[in-house]
Chain A
């Protein structure tokens, strides 16, 4: 079912502490956005993500991230170009986002023209729990606000 031409995807594992931040943000957005935009949550990557994106013109992906020297709760706004360095397909189980997009393009799939990735620096992504850590929890309303503002444009 396609609602409009924009999809917002919250990624992560909802029971793995901060790994679930993408889900929490997507669920918050779903409350506000009602039926205007397609909002979904998933624990997917690579090929599967390609299935979700295909057919939309605009996509927002929200996910947890861990960077060297990053501070928990920091928010990054990225585009696939920022992740070009990761263009390498031999990962453990699946291809990464940039590769998936490039493959989709090569094979002529209909992919979004605009892809924005909101990444939130996570503190703990190894402990099974349904709660976010306080600094990550605190970042949630800020990301929700930022995405809502972008959607207005």
Chain B
């Protein structure tokens, strides 16, 4: 048995990379973010039975298995042209609200709050959830754990397992909800609504009442103006599970609205030689390079993208929080990357309110939850909003339902170009006149952490540091400095 010498353990190939190029004066000319991609998932699926997909896709990575599960279940509904009964759709949405609650709580308290509660300039050993708990109190820490665990319990009740669910089938769901489970969920949902309100209050007290933070949120370094994209319901309000994809421009005008099967008509993927990950963009106006104005079809998705792309929230308290947020940010759409965190909390409240509504819906315990598919499969499309943005699944099969082609476009890909611009802007503060600014390292991290990006299978990346390396090159293109995170 070998005794390990701990020399920073990293995933050698699984690193994101930021490459910074300096000009002659030693200032940043351009910075790029490269995201590693796991290899061959589509190939792995080809030749398998399509109905296996909802159980396979949650294994793409450990971050949002529930989102992949439902996007896949919806793609199978579409593949077999079968519309699930209303109770099945409501059950899926209930399950999915719990997933959002779980994911948004974890992101806000463990990943976002350290920057704001402990401070963006604090040493990285201090900027963590323990630092947050030390500041906001043990009681809040206990509430975080409790409500995250409620969300997991609800997902387990409906999904069969908390993570890696098995409930979604073509045409519906595998198991109805019992009255006893419903009551249990209702009680937990009520508590989640209160906790979401408290979380917004903490954001207000700690972040908004601190001028430094407000200045940071509104600072030019963290502003961006891409197109915004997200699912909306029939009244153009945010929906995570179903509806049409709506895209608005830099002025908030609707420029596209489409169903999942029309996705290829509106979105295309651009390839850059320096990255494995493709860049999805809006076909009209098209790809004009990584630039953020109406001329270039760069999008952002995720909490702020969704709120920008919609006209409001479908639940009363979340709607109020939505109005308050845009009031403070100076109108819609917002350009403030760091407002993703605020938008995430507005969504947390919406998810909790919607979960409570669904748990009180008389139809939620109906046993009519499956319509058996009878059509011959050929092609299926499924879109849901993952917590970090629009997720698209597209399958083509032979007549026996054996997969011939699989295409999956994830939220982080949709945000990839926008993240590159954010990183570039933040990196401009990293090196000035050839001098390295250590604090700017965290500023860059904050720029892309706002998007909650997914670097592939982050399930057990050790040692828990951000898997990103920064390489800086001088104006001759020679390596100047390498900053391991």
Report A's interface with B, CB cutoff 8 A. Answer: 11-16, 19, 42-48, 50-51, 63-69, 74-78, 82-83, 85-99, 102-103, 106-107, 109, 119, 125-129, 146
Contacts and interface: CB of A to CB of B under 8 A. Distances in A.
Contacts of B125: 87-88
A75 B127 contact: no
Contacts of B421: none
B457 A16 contact: yes
B124 A90 contact: yes
Contacts of A83: 6, 462-463
Contacts of B39: 126-128
Nearest to A83: B463
A13 B457 contact: yes
B61 interface: yes
A15 B56 CA distance: 9
B441 to A, nearest CB: 12
Interface stretch (B9-17, B292-300, B354-362): B9-17
A99 B164 CA distance: 24
Interface in B148-188: 148-149, 152, 162-164
Given A12-B459, A43-B62, A125-B11, 4 more contacts: A47-B145, A48-B152, A91-B461, A92-B454
A147 to B, nearest CB: 12
B124 A43 contact: no
B119 interface: no
Given A75-B1, A125-B11, A90 B459 contact: no
Chain B contact residues, majority secondary structure = loop
B425 interface: no
B39, B124, B462 interface centre (most CB from chain A within 10 Å): B462
B467 interface: yes
8 contacts: A15-B56, A63-B460, A86-B462, A88-B463, A88-B464, A99-B129, A126-B14, A128-B44
Contact of A89 (B10, B41, B128, B456): B128
A85 B463 CA distance: 8
A78 B114 CA distance: 28
B458 A43 contact: no
Given A92-B454, A93-B454, A66 B9 contact: yes
A95 B106 CA distance: 9
A21 to B, nearest CB: 11
B130 interface: yes
Interface string B383-412: 000000000000000000000000000000
B130 A89 contact: yes
B459 A45 contact: yes
Nearest to B141: A107
A11 B62 CA distance: 11
Contacts of B215: none
Q: Which of B40, B145, B445, B449: most chain A CB closer than 10 A?
A: B145
Interface in B79-134: 106-107, 110-111, 114-115, 124-125, 127-131, 133
